[in-house]
Structure 1
Amino acid sequence: MDSETREVYSMHTDGGEPIQVARFSPDGGFLALGSRDNNIYVYQVSEEARKYSRVGRCSGHSSFITHLDWSADSQFLQSNSGDYELLYWNASLCRQITQSSELRDVEWASNTCTLTFNTIGIWPEGADGTDVNQSERSHDARLLATADDFGKVKLYSYPAAYPKSLCHTYGGHSSHVTNVGFLHDDSRLISTGGRDTSVMQWMLV
C-alpha cells in the first residue's frame, strides 16, 4: 500500500495465522514473512516494490516464527521459533540448510535473532528462553543491544559469542522491554516497552 495515496499495490493470503515478523532483503529484491503457522513465506519484489510474487514457503520449524535475519548478499535467511530453534535457509529455493558449518563465513545484514552463535553471551544463567525478547546489532557491527523481560536494555560488544559476556545494563522501562533498534547512523538506540507502552531514546556516547 502507498503510504500517501493509500493505493493497494498487492494483496496476498498465506496460511490461516497472523504474520509475526517481516523482513526485506538488503537488496530490496525479496520479502520474507514469518508466520505463526510455523512457516516463512518468501516473495520476490519488483516494479519499485509494487509487485510481489510468491517464491515459496520455508517449512521446517515446529513452532511459530519469532525472528528473521537476511544475509548481506540477500541469499540466505536465519530464523528463530517459539521452541528456540535456529534454522538456516536458501531464500531463493526456500530450502533448509541443515549443515550450519556451510554458513560459518556468511555475513549477516542484521542480528535480530536472539538465538545465534553470535548471541550466546546475552543469555543469563538459568534463562528459560523467553527472557530476552529482541536483539539488534549496530550498523557498524560493533555493538549488540537486547531487550528483556526484566525491564532492562543491555549493550554488549558484538559478537557476544561467549557465555556470560560482559555488558552495560540500563533501566527506564517499568515492565518488560519488547524491542530495540539503532538509528541509521548508530547515534541513538530506540526501545519500546510492553505494559508501560513507552518509547525511549538512548544516546550512544
Structure 2
Amino acid sequence: QTSYECVSLSFHPFGVALAAGSSEGHLVVLNAETGNIITTVRVCGSPLNCLGYSPAGDTLAIGSQNGSVYLFRVSRDGYSYKKINKIRGSQPLTQLDWSTDGSYLQTVTSEYDLTFWDVKTLTTEKSPVAMKDVKWYTHNCTVGFLVGGIWNNRYYPMQALISTANRSAAHDLLVAGDAEGYLRLFRYPCISPKAEYNEEKVYSLAIAAARFLHNDRNVVTVGGTDASLMLWEVVDE
C-alpha cells in the first residue's frame, strides 16, 4: 500500500524490488515479494510517467512530465537509491527503454517524438539513423525502427493512435494498445504496414498499459479511464 497515486512501474531485473513513479514526483520502492515499502524518494515536482532499470540493475532511469530523465544509482540488493545525474529535456516523456549494453536510452514524448540519449555523456544522439542497429533490453516505446508496423497498418479499419506497446521476453511477440481500446498482438519485429495481427476490443477508451508477464504466456492490460485490470492468455491457434 502507498499513499501516492502511482502512474508507472518497473521490476528490478533480479526480481527483488518494484519501483513505482507517482503523479506527485515521488519514487516509491517496494519489496517485490511482500509489497512492503522499502524507501520513498522525492525526485521532482512533476509526474514520473515512465521508469526502467538498466540490464545490470545498477541504475534506474526515470522519465518525467517535465521532459527530464533522472538517473539513480541502485545498490546490489535493489533497496538503496542515490541520484547521480539528470538529462534535461523539454517535452513530457511517456515511455522509456534501455539498450542491452546499458549505454543508451530511448524515450517517446507526449507528442510521439522518439529521442535517443547517451547515458555516459548525458546528451541526445543527433543522428537517429546511427541508432538503428542498437539492441534494446526492453521495447516499451510506441515509436521506433522495429515497431513501425503498429502505425498506419493497412488492415486497420481506421487510423490508430497507439497508447502502449510491449515486447515479449523471447523477442518474438509485440502487444500494442490504442486510444480506442483495441488490443493487438503482432510478431516482433513489426516493421511492415502489412503486418498481420490478432485483435480484441478491450476498453471503450484508451489502454493505459499492456505488458507481458515473465512467462510470455500472459498479458496484463490497464484501462486509462475505468482503471479495470485484465489478464490475458496468449494461445496458439
- The answer to whether TM tops 0.5 is yes
Partner of 2:135: 107
Could you say if the C-alpha distance between residues 140 and 8 of structure 1 is closer, same or farther in structure 2, counting changes exceeding 3 Å?
closer
**Match for residue 199 of structure 2 among 169, 175, 189:** 169
Partner of 1:33: 62
Structure 2 Cα separation of the partners of residues 5 and 201 of structure 1: 20
Could you say if the C-alpha distance between residues 39 and 153 of structure 1 is closer, same or farther in structure 2, counting changes exceeding 3 Å?
same
Paired amino acid for 2:80: K
Partner of 1:65: 93
Could you say if the C-alpha distance between residues 19 and 201 of structure 1 is closer, same or farther in structure 2, counting changes exceeding 3 Å?
same
Percent identity over paired residues: 29
Structure 1 Cα separation of the partners of residues 96 and 139 of structure 2: 8
Paired amino acid for 1:46: S
1:104 Cα deviation after fit: 2.6
Could you say if the C-alpha distance between residues 127 and 171 of structure 1 is closer, same or farther in structure 2, counting changes exceeding 3 Å?
closer
Deviations, residues 113-141 of structure 1 (Å, cap 9, x unaligned): 0011111111136848xx21100001111
Structure 2 Cα separation of the partners of residues 93 and 55 of structure 1: 13
Structure 2 Cα separation of the partners of residues 177 and 83 of structure 1: 17
RMSD: 2.2
Q: Give the length in aligned residue pairs.
A: 201
Structure 1 Cα separation of the partners of residues 52 and 99 of structure 2: 11
Partner SS state of residue 108, structure 1: coil
Deviations, residues 72-96 of structure 1 (Å, cap 9, x unaligned): 1222100011122111111233221
* 2:122 corresponds to 1:94: yes
Q: TM-score, normalised by structure 2?
A: 0.76
Deviations, residues 139-188 of structure 1 (Å, cap 9, x unaligned): 11111100111121001111111224221111233332211011101011
Q: TM-score, normalised by structure 1?
A: 0.87
Partner of 1:121: 149
Bigger RCO (CA 8 Å, 6+ sep) = 1
